[in-house]
Structure 1
Amino acid sequence: MTAVCASALILASCGGSKNMLTLSSLNGEWNITEVDGQKITDKKMPFIGFDVAQKRIYGNSGCNRMMGTFEADSLTPGALSFGPIGSTRMACPDMQTEQMVLNALNKVKSYETVSDQPEIIALCSEDGKKMLTLQKKDESQVSLTDLSGEWAIELVNGKKIVGTTEVTPFIGFNTDENRIYGNVGCNTINGALLQNEKTANSLKFENIATTMMMCPDMETETTVLNALNETRSFSIKNGQVYLLGENGNELLVLKKQ
């Protein structure tokens, strides 16, 4: 009985792993599979994304989108803490998982691998308690809900958006209502998004309506609208969304705002 208890204690605590991760290995998106010792079984799996370059996090805590910053001490391997975490304000039938996730993130002070599996990490409290277990998302396993929120348009047909537009172009995805909104450089847009239920990464936009303002530079706007009309699928890699054409060609690259 004593051996069993000791084993359980090791699994529930941090500090036993010798395989410390580099900060860059946090980059990307991770499913939250366990919180404070409880396995997550929700249909809508919470996840957290790390943008290491900008020391920013984003994700979904079980109901609402979350966003914030993090700090990591380069002189102390494995040290990690989160700044104030903001979130949207939707109400869902079950808010328990979300409350657990947010409470656990507020207590995180370090991270480490679980055993010898670099695709699974633990976020730990100051006293060494395992607060969350994360598993690296399989980039081939994407879903429409991964697009939720607002994304800045970084590239169009491989070319970087330059600062000649009136506003920073962005696309917002409301996956609950299957619609998009945003600004394509001058005018605002609204439209519908469609998906083939048999293909998780399929994506198509229809009935895109725009306002009718005239701006000094309309070229970027026209290029973005053409790219949206040609979109047939998407992929996600290192926290960026790639909107792809019929032949898999890259049309737009989006980055979480």
Structure 2
Amino acid sequence: MTILFRLLALACALWLAACAAPPPPSGSIGASAASPLVPDASERRGLGTAWGESVRSETRNVEFERADPAKPTDLASVYYNDALPGHLPASQVRRLPTRVALANGDIALSFTDEKGAPLRLARSNGRWHMVGVEGSRYMIVLRNQGRRTFEVVSTVDGLDVLSGRPGSYTNGGYVLYPGRTLTIEGFRKSRDEVAAFRFAAVPDSYVANSKYGDAANVGVIGVALFAQKENDEEALRRNANPFPGNDNGFAPPPVPRGE
């Protein structure tokens, strides 16, 4: 699969991957008549994400292969709006976490404003939540603290941050190497630029003004991680046991005759 590489501050590297889509499923599920009706975007309150100003972001191609093309190694969804659930007071907000651990701690997911200050995250009813301010810029930040390389497929308001199409595991994504930090600053416009993420009223959001968008998905950021396929030697070394004789210490059963 093809991957694009992004240069960060002349020294840091950020990569993009494009995956071949698998065959479509044999059956499809139609819209349920019982599905709740979603108000028109012009009637929606709260925040979405706008197509902001252009930000320089250069890219190039590399190669990447997923360990499992269809199944993510880990997933995260972060819901955002102009207030946190429960309307927490400022004193409690300051004590909230700023990172989400993914892939058994290999990846740290966080969000920052345009000055690099971390945005607080609240956990409520099994979901992560983030509060934004209309007009403010934000960025998605992932730090690889492990030894594996990952592809990062990300969506904002249900739209892929690279293609602007509906989010799918088959879409290509950024590639994040061990010890590196990936900062996703906006929707990709070209190999050289992205459109900055800015919190906006729902009617002004990108999803509400895109031919591929569905405003029913406004207010959620998705991250899917795919580990890189290892060669046989890498897999053997990863699974090597430093104490293979450290069993439970009890007597094994007799071996059947003839074996």
**TM (normalized to structure 2)?**
0.26
Higher relative contact order (CA 8 A, sep 6+): 2
**TM (normalized to structure 1)?**
0.26
Q: Whose Rg is larger?
A: 2
